[in-house]
Amino acid sequence: MTRRDVVVLVLILLLGAGITVAHKVRQGCLPPGVHVEGLEFLSGPLHTLSESADAAWSEGDQVVVEAGRSDVQVLTWTEKKVHVELKKQLHGEKEEEAARQASDMKLSLDPSPGSLQVRATGTRPTGLSSEFTITVPEQSRLQVITDNGSVVVHGSKSDVVVKTAHGDVEATDLGGRLEVINDDGSINLHRVKGPVILRTAHGDVEASDLAGTADVTCDDGDVTLSRVAGAVKVTHAHGDVGITQAGGEVHLSCSNSDVTASDIHGNLEIVDEHGSVRVERAGADLKITAPHCEVWVENLAGSLTGTVESDPFTAVRVRGAVKVVASASSVSLTDVQGVIEVSGTHTPVQITRPGADVEVSTTNQEISLASPAGRGFRVDARAEEGEVESDIDELHVPEDRPAHFAGSTGDGRIRYRLNTSHATISILRSESDSAEKDR
């Protein structure tokens, strides 16, 4: 038997199995609980049936929705009552038979002191899909619980709690506190005035225009937060994290994540491993602990503290002090106005246009300090088993490039201490000075 014959035989067997399953679906002969996705149409056309009910509501009451495997949509109005509609959809040859099967699952509203419970009772027919549409007073507290279904909440002015195992959650224009616990699904929020707590195991998180704080835990998915007035805390693994326009402190604890943060007004702390970190336009102090991450920092108003390993660390335009501990990495600092302190192992260091004292200690790699202070500086450069060089005539560095050199220019107020081994320390004049000397 050739390969082609085998392929044809397999296709024939699959076709026969498909015909058998389709026949059993049409005859309703599948075992209880067995549902073949995508073959519902073989049972007949789709029939939509619904039932509705109203319940009184008093100030301070909580509406609790236990939706099971149903989708949930919550709307608000100004009336002092709760209106619930349960829509059920089911395939069947005849509408009467579909209605009879759907009637096995019924809408239930159970009021109790301080609470109203909304749920479906009875037996869910095989193949039935359902959705709750609930209209509640704006000030009612809300709790929605589903096993498998999406949840949409719009316009609530009080606290909202959503718990779902499998389904996406969307919330907009909320006036109170929001808590979402989602095992498997995305979370999408816009315009929430109260504090936000979000938990998801597998799914993306996107939130914007939050007037309070945000506390996010996401095990696997992308997290995007923008325009958050309060403090931000994110615990994350496996995915991208993006934070823009945060008014308070930001704490990010990540792994296997690509992190970007911009326009942060409060202090910023980032912990990451095996990813990348990029920070732009931060208005306060920044602390980064990011082994095996490429780090880029630009336009920082406060101080910078970094601990890195194996990947490059770059900072441009920092007003405060910079302190970096690096191993098997590379450090590049440009236009830092504050004091610079770098402690490295097997790490080359390049510093351009420093504005204050500099202390660098590394091993087996070169140190380059370019465009030093124009008003003068003192330098103490030690390169064990290496050499010191400079193109600044006023320093009078010997042409034979010594392993240790100390000298000064101008007023000597700024001090540079540079130490390495088995490599070169270079002290280079600014580009404008070089051009003037060439002329």
| Residue range 287-312: mean pLDDT, rounded | 97
Residue 103 pLDDT: 83
Residue range 375-401: mean pLDDT, rounded: 92
198 and 167 share one domain? yes
pLDDT-based confidence at residue 437 (cuts at 50, 70, 90): very low
Q: Does residue 354 fall inside a structural domain?
A: no
Q: Is the pLDDT of residue 37 over 60?
A: no
What pLDDT, in 10s, does the model give residues 205-222? 999 999 999 999 999 999
Domain edge (last residue) among 97, 129, 149: 149
Q: Is residue 143 part of a domain?
A: yes
For the segment 58-64, the average pLDDT, to the nearest whole number, is 93
Whether residues 145 and 50 share a domain: the answer is yes
Q: Are residues 112 and 51 in the same domain?
A: yes
Is the separation of the CB atoms in 369 and 378 below 8 Å?
no
Residue 81 has pLDDT above 90, yes or no: yes
Q: Does residue 16 carry a pLDDT above 80?
A: no
Same domain, yes or no: 87 and 165: no
Does residue 320 have a pLDDT over 90? Answer: yes
Asked if 128 and 101 sit in the same domain, the reply is yes
Q: Give yes or no: residues 171 and 203 share one domain.
A: yes
pLDDT at residue 98 in the model: 79
Write phi, then psi, for 34 (nearest 5 degrees): -85, 125
What sign does the dihedral 87-91-94-97 (CA atoms) show?
Answer: negative
Which one of 114, 129, 149 terminates a domain? Answer: 149
Asked if 142 and 191 sit in the same domain, the reply is no
375: tokens are: 């008003």
Q: What range does the domain containing 201 cover?
A: 155-215
Is residue 203 located within the same domain as residue 106? no
Distance CA 111, CA 117 (A): 6
Region of poorest pLDDT, from 76-85, 91-100, 130-139, 344-353: 91-100
- 81 membership: H or E segment, kind and range: strand 81-91
Q: Do residues 116 and 78 share a domain?
A: yes
Q: Which of 149, 178, 203 delimits the end of a domain?
A: 149
Asked if residue 197 is part of any domain, the answer here is yes
In a domain, 247, yes or no: no
- Whether the per-residue pLDDT at 131 is higher than 50: the answer is yes
Which of 3-7, 260-264, 331-335 is predicted with the least confidence, judged by mean pLDDT?
Answer: 3-7
- 138 with 203, same domain: the answer is no
Specify if 74 maps to a domain.
yes
pLDDT tens digits, 255-274: 999 999 999 999 999 999 99
> Domain for residue 206, yes or no?
yes
| Contact in structure between 230 and 247 (CB atoms under 8 Å) | yes
Structural domain contains residue 284: no
pTM: 0.84
| CB proximity list for 406: less than 8 A, separation 6 or greater | 378, 379, 380, 381
- Count of structural domains within the chain: 2
**Average pLDDT, stretch 354-361?**
97
Q: Report if residue 276 sits inside a domain.
A: no
pLDDT of residue 49: 87
Do both 48 and 145 map to the same domain? yes
Among residues of the chain, what percentage have pLDDT more than 70? 88
Average pLDDT (63-82) is: 95
79 with 112, same domain? yes
